[in-house]
């Protein structure tokens, strides 16, 4: 772009704001022509040598909200109808939970530019975050109507419908979102949630696996693993105690009785790590093996070993699978022998 002169008016009485403005503007390609600090506002004339909004977007993506938001407020003071400033500032405030200001800015944006789909989606998200669920869904429905292939609109409409306790419709929008963006881990997680709430447990479990496979070390992956454990536990506990699990726990108690405590801990930790990928507790097939223990084992056998091991070296640890009844029955049998 050619150089451009901006005239900013920043209304504030806070001390030190002029220095913050200087610092923020120095992050951009330009130069301050003048700065006048009054009792209630600061006026700045600034010469730009390059598009400032690309650099500001980089600041926000890097987590520098303080400078990014301040700069966007400055540019909005120069041009209150600037679509780029309204969108990015609204998004920034929404991400920082300044939801009233986010709603104000994004509402201005869509009133001025009704076809701005991303702006409408951002407004819908801000409304959902303030628990204005029906208003948020309405904006997101409009965004999907305007652009049916917008994965972001589909994913967030699905989230809104879950918030409104409508998993059946949410499933259709999440399904389209993951079709459009198969690498979107959050969309896969939402899809799995919707499937589960809609009673499609097997499909939900598969969707959770897909979410985990995209980035197994993320916070979403951990939530997906917890959800899979709950699915497995619900399927397992048709009636308790389960005698197969009782016998597996008894076998673990007998095996660990003559084993050094460190070896027991090693076995428990290895199974816990293996479990992050998911153990099939509903299949009798002995398809798993360990480095710390000889033999092949079923998923339920390993979970029982893990439960017993943690009860010995870390009794208060929740392994994410409740075998209390089975363990107590096994312990009674072990003591009677």
Element (H, E) at 223: helix 219-236
Residue 329 is assigned to a structural domain of this protein:
yes
Residue 313 is assigned to a structural domain of this protein:
yes
Domain boundary among 79, 114, 146: 79
Residue 264 is assigned to a structural domain of this protein:
yes
Specify the residue for token string 């003591």.
335
- Per DSSP, the residues of 252-278 read HHHHHHTS-HHHHHHHHHHHHHHHTT-
Is the C-alpha dihedral spanning 23, 24, 28, 32 positive or negative? negative
Containing domain of residue 70, as a range?
1-79
Is the C-alpha dihedral spanning 237, 240, 244, 250 positive or negative? positive
Domain containing residue 48: CATH number: 3.30.70
Per the rule left: phi > 0, alpha: psi between -120 and 50, beta: everything else, 4 is: beta
- How confident is the model at residue 238, as a pLDDT? 59
Domain boundary among 41, 60, 79: 79
Residue 189 is assigned to a structural domain of this protein:
no
Q: How far is 277 from 266, CA to CA, in rounded Å?
A: 18
- How confident is the model at residue 278, as a pLDDT? 75
- How confident is the model at residue 321, as a pLDDT? 86
Residue 326 is assigned to a structural domain of this protein:
yes
Cis geometry, peptide bond prior to residue 65 (ω within 30 degrees of 0): no
Global confidence as pTM: 0.76
Asked if 92 and 69 count as a contact pair (C-beta separation under 8 A), the reply is yes
For the chain, what is the domain count? 2
Residue 8 is assigned to a structural domain of this protein:
yes
- The per-residue pLDDT string of the chain (337 residues; one tens digit each, 9 = 90 and over) reads 678 999 999 999 899 999 999 999 999 999 999 999 998 999 999 999 999 999 999 999 999 999 999 999 999 999 999 999 999 999 999 999 999 999 999 999 999 999 999 999 999 999 999 999 999 999 999 999 999 999 999 999 999 999 999 999 999 999 999 999 999 999 999 999 999 999 999 899 999 999 999 999 999 999 998 898 888 877 776 555 788 999 999 999 999 998 999 999 999 999 998 887 778 887 889 999 999 989 999 999 999 999 999 999 998 888 888 888 899 999 998 898 7
Residue 229 is assigned to a structural domain of this protein:
no
- How confident is the model at residue 284, as a pLDDT? 86
Domain boundary among 46, 79, 112: 79
End-to-end CA separation in angstroms for the chain:
85
Residue 46 is assigned to a structural domain of this protein:
yes
């Amino acid at each position: 772009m050619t150089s451009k002169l901006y005239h900013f008016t920043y209304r504030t009485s806070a001390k030190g704001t002029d220095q913050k403005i200087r610092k923020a503007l120095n992050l951009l390609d330009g130069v301050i022509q003048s700065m006048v600090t009054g009792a209630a506002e600061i006026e700045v004339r600034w010469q730009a040598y390059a598009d400032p909004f690309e650099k500001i977007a980089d600041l926000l993506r890097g987590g520098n909200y303080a400078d990014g938001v301040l700069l966007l407020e400055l540019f909005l003071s120069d041009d209150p109808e600037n679509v780029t400033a309204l969108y990015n500032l609204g998004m920034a405030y929404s991400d920082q939970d300044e939801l009233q200001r986010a709603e104000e800015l994004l509402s201005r944006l869509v009133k001025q530019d009704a076809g701005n789909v991303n702006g409408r989606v951002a407004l819908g998200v801000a409304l959902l975050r303030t628990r204005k669920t029906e208003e948020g869904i309405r904006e997101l429905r409009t965004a999907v109507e305007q652009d049916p292939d917008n994965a972001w609109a589909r994913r967030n409409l699905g989230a809104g419908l879950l918030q409104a306790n409508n998993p059946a419709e949410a499933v259709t929008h999440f399904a389209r979102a993951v079709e459009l963006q198969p690498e979107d881990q959050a969309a896969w997680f939402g899809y799995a949630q919707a499937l589960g709430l809609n009673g499609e447990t097997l499909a939900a479990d598969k969707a959770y696996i897909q979410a985990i496979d995209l980035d197994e070390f993320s916070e979403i992956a951990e939530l997906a693993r917890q959800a899979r454990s709950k699915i497995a536990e619900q399927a397992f506990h048709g009636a308790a105690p389960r005698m197969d699990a009782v016998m597996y726990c008894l076998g673990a108690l007998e095996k660990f009785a003559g084993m050094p405590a460190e070896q027991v801990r090693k076995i428990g930790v290895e199974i816990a790590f293996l479990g992050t990928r998911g153990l099939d507790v509903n299949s009798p097939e002995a398809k798993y093996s360990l480095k710390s223990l000889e033999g092949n084992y079923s998923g339920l056998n390993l979970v029982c070993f893990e439960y017993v091991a943690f009860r010995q070296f870390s009794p208060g640890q929740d392994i994410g699978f409740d075998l209390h009844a089975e363990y107590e029955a096994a312990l009674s049998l072990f003591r009677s022998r």
